Copies of this chain bind each other. A is one copy, B any other.
Amino acid sequence: MDKPLDGIFAALADPTRRTILIMLLEDDMAVTDVAEPFEMSLAAISKHLGILMRAGLISQEKRGRVKWCKIDPDALRDASIWMQSFGQFEAVNLEAFEKFLDQELEGDTTEPF
């Protein structure tokens, strides 16, 4: 019943989690550093990261007392294939993506950049 795509899409449905993914796209980060720009508790971010983990969208590795988070694009690939099926829409368009990224980030109360 609980299929992989359920978790992937549910994880992507939250703007905080999408912003975290965008941040991790730039570079791997420690949990505390991920949390820093957001106006919510560390525990809340820790939960978000757990959801992204279980969805397979990120992986985490503990080195010393620091837990490093890195993006894992394989799960997104699955979801993307599913979506592409509906795709009369054109192929990847980086310019269009940047526009979307801007929309995503502007007006975000948890604005990280």
CA distance A15 to B88 in the complex (A): 22
Partner of A76, one of B14, B89, B104: B89
Size range of the chain A interface in the assembly: 35 or more
Partner of A80, one of B5, B25, B84, B101: B84
Partner of A83, one of B74, B80, B96, B104: B80
CA distance A93 to B101 in the complex (A): 25
Which residues of B are found within 8 Å of A87, using beta-carbon distances? 73, 76-77, 80, 92
Cross-chain pairs A/B with CB under 8 angstroms, 10 sampled: A3-B15, A73-B87, A79-B83, A80-B83, A82-B97, A82-B104, A84-B92, A84-B93, A87-B92, A91-B92
